[in-house]
Structure 1
């Protein structure tokens, strides 16, 4: 798959979000997209997925079956988890594989729950599962680790590596650094409307430990927000 001289802006005469992007994405590879908030990472992922058309340039060689997990899964839908995934599989003409992905992502107990009742982390799992339906040739994950429980967050890099090993082109936006240990990852940076391939992984930023004390009934909400912002959280009870 190749992007050639791709440029995008949301409205005519609006500032360019991306300019003159040239990028090759080969089957069987994992590409990590980095950049600060608002740099255009999600826009680039939507262009790769085919959810947006470039204003200039071309995108060619996109696999016929695309799986896309947005940063925020839209839960305002009148389905249970089981019904939603079954519906998405039917729309795409692929096997539902509910037991397979519910087991790997740890949400078997949620199949009968309505989408609006899911927590952010559980909704994230459903978003990942719908992207994985039918083993897509192009898998795009926008901040897939945000809000996940520790077990699923630890298991997801191996799942990403597995999809690439089976020939999929995988593109991941991950500001939490959860796939840094995967071998052979290509890293690209989005900044000032430009996309550049990084020769070396970015140096880790200096870190500081802050101790925040919250009420017990607020702990889950605060932890989810901090993880979504890319922070490492270690919980202990006073």
Structure 2
């Protein structure tokens, strides 16, 4: 079974592919979309869950999403049409880092997708190119909440701590106007949901040729979390504006 299919199964009960609860997602969108009639771009949108939620609750909103996965985009289109919001959503099948548009956006989202641009600051640089004057960026990034184990560093790389992460963003010319640090409960709920969904699928489909692979993937990921990064991994979401608005 492909990694993409495994990821889809893992997120079946947690469509936001980051450790954020529904209330946290809603509050981040409120701060990112203060008017309700904005134009929104999600770079690395996956199944476009952020955009779908924003569009469903804001009838004057228009949105575009970019992702490399045609499977995820097809699912997003189907969900959007089922919700009656398909005419306000445009999806682009391409690498997020290569996306270009003459249109500028009031909110640019990139949550949990900074790897597509080579890190936090390159992601902000890309977002800036798409940002309308006075616009906002909603970005999500990992950090070390506590000193990591060698195994955790091997998995996630050399992340900064929370304060250093925010300091880097501010030094790059951005001002946080809202932020959310995922709670330990949100982090745990995300992990249990993902690996529990995989394990459940494997148990429900014992005759499937991929059942053993999926079961092993769930067990391995669960073990990595419990023994490797559970106590050290953190996730930060920020709503940002350019510090010098005239420089946008």
Q: TM-score normalised by the shorter chain: which range applies?
A: 0.3 to 0.5
TM-score normalized by the length of structure 1: 0.33
TM-score normalized by the length of structure 2: 0.32
Bigger share in helix: 2
